[in-house]
Amino acid sequence: MDDILKPDTPGYDPYEFLAYDKLCHAYYPNPDIEDEHLFKRVDKMIHLLGLNYGTIKDNRILFLSPILERLSLGKKEDADVYQFVTAYQMCVQEIEEAAR
């Protein structure tokens, strides 16, 4: 299995490889990836790891939706986020950028 999305790899940065659609609660390859081979590797691993399928996605939606709703009202709640941290951080970044 390809270890490109392995978070314990030294120097791993999810923002380098991943993007997150907060409306669909789905990961996709970072559109800034210019290397087509790398883009395909990331896409393949998203699918192989099942990041957007079944109960993983359903649980991510159930957990993050109320937190993101409060966040959109200006109430940041990092302490409440103990799972789906990468998706949460990507959503926070998007919300903060939109507020600028």
Question: Would you say residue 3 lies in a domain?
Answer: no
Question: Would you say residue 7 lies in a domain?
Answer: no
Question: Would you say residue 9 lies in a domain?
Answer: no
Which alpha helices (DSSP H) does 7-99 contain, by range?
A: 14-17, 36-48, 54-72, 85-99
Question: Would you say residue 69 lies in a domain?
Answer: yes
Question: Would you say residue 2 lies in a domain?
Answer: no
Show the tokens assigned to 55.
């109960």
pLDDT of the residue at 77: 66
H/E element holding 19?
Answer: strand 18-21
User: Residue 86 — pLDDT band, cuts 50, 70, 90?
Assistant: very high
**Window from 15-24, 28-37, 43-52, 67-76 with minimum mean pLDDT:** 67-76
Q: Which of 29, 7, 27, 9 is nearest to 91 (CA)?
A: 27
pLDDT of the residue at 79: 66
Range of the domain at 28: 16-99
In the chain, how many domains are there? Answer: 1
What pTM, to 2 d.p., does this model score?
0.88
- 18 CB-contact burial (10 Å; exposed 0-12 / middle 13-18 / buried 19+): buried
Question: Would you say residue 36 lies in a domain?
Answer: yes
